[in-house]
Copies of this chain bind each other. A is one copy, B any other.
Amino acid sequence: MKININGNIVGPEEATISVFDRGFLFGDSIYEVTLTYDGVLYKIDEHLDRLWESASRLDMPISISRKQLTYQMLKTLKALNETRAYIRVVITRGEGEIGLDPSLAVKNNLVIITKKLPENPTWWYDSGVEMIVASVLRNPKESMDPAIKSGNYLNNVLAYSQAKKQGAFDAIMLNADGMVTEGTTNNIWIVKDGKLKTPPLAAGLLSGITRKIVLELAFDNKIPAAEENFTPEELKDADECFLTSSTKELVPITKIDGISIGSGRPGELTKRLHQIYRQHVKDYINRQRGVQDEILGDKS
């Protein structure tokens, strides 16, 4: 593992932060997670867009420029030297006197955690995973908007814990209207009568980057797709179901609350979309390689 703390790259033992950091005290931080394919950072612009969007919704000033942050990310990955890497960028409001007032902190802390990312288990894709519908509801937009990717993640931890206790892979969370929102770290999709559906952002969920790509790829490939609310009953009655996330790509969901989805095997459209997605990843990586080499070259 290599960790970048405000520009200094250290090992895990030295990777520490002040207990006066508001990220530690209040979860007053924002973050993004992505990965590298063959050494190339995936969808960096999209993740940085979302990071800045989270900051804006929290009125959190970010003192580092996008260009500088990109450089720090690439520099850390270069030090890690793995072809397939996990990268987590955390920006906190910084340190100061203890108090809710955000102006008590004047300077962000930047933490970039990188580590070797093992290949995802093949059984996820071959057999599909089992999920539950959590009784813990997703935070409502009016309280703590799930569109903000912040250090306040206990809501998801609580839902995940319910899944864990039941031996499931993960939990699907509902909103106060009883509609499906998202998994604890992924977006949720169903296929019914050949049509692809995922809940709209208005349901209260994170605007997933893989979610957006899959919507675009469905459109490009003339697969009917829509952002539409659905209930847990419709979810369990679907022909196919899958989740999307940057690090997991598309993972078939074959059982929910013990009920088999469709045939109980990964669906055909799910598999087709995953192939289309993998091609999209390859094309992106090929286009990006030179660009990223240049950013690192400019500064190093």
A residues sitting closer than 8 Å to B (CB atoms) are 3, 5, 12, 15-21, 23-29, 58-59, 86, 88, 90, 98, 100-103, 111, 113, 136-140, 142-144, 148, 150-158, 160-161, 164, 176, 184-185
- Tell me the minimal C-beta distance from A178 to chain B in angstroms: 11
- Choice from B20, B144, B150 contacting A144 with Cβ under 8 Å: B144
Q: Are B19 and A100 in contact (CB under 8 A)?
A: no
Q: Are B20 and A17 in contact (CB under 8 A)?
A: no
- In the assembled complex, which residues on chain B have CB atoms less than 8 Å from the CB atom of A111? 19
- Choice from B17, B152, B176 contacting A19 with Cβ under 8 Å: B17
- Tell me the minimal C-beta distance from A86 to chain B in angstroms: 8
- Residue of B whose beta carbon sits closest to that of A33: B98
- Tell me the minimal C-beta distance from A142 to chain B in angstroms: 4
Q: Are A144 and B153 in contact (CB under 8 A)?
A: no
Q: Are A164 and B103 in contact (CB under 8 A)?
A: yes
- Tell me the minimal C-beta distance from A117 to chain B in angstroms: 11
- Choice from B3, B17, B20, B26 contacting A154 with Cβ under 8 Å: B26
- In the assembled complex, which residues on chain B have CB atoms less than 8 Å from the CB atom of A3? 19
Enumerate the 5 nearest inter-chain pairs by beta-carbon distance, A residue then B residue, closest first: A27-B27, A16-B16, A26-B153, A100-B160, A152-B152
- In the assembled complex, which residues on chain B have CB atoms less than 8 Å from the CB atom of A27? 26-27, 151-154
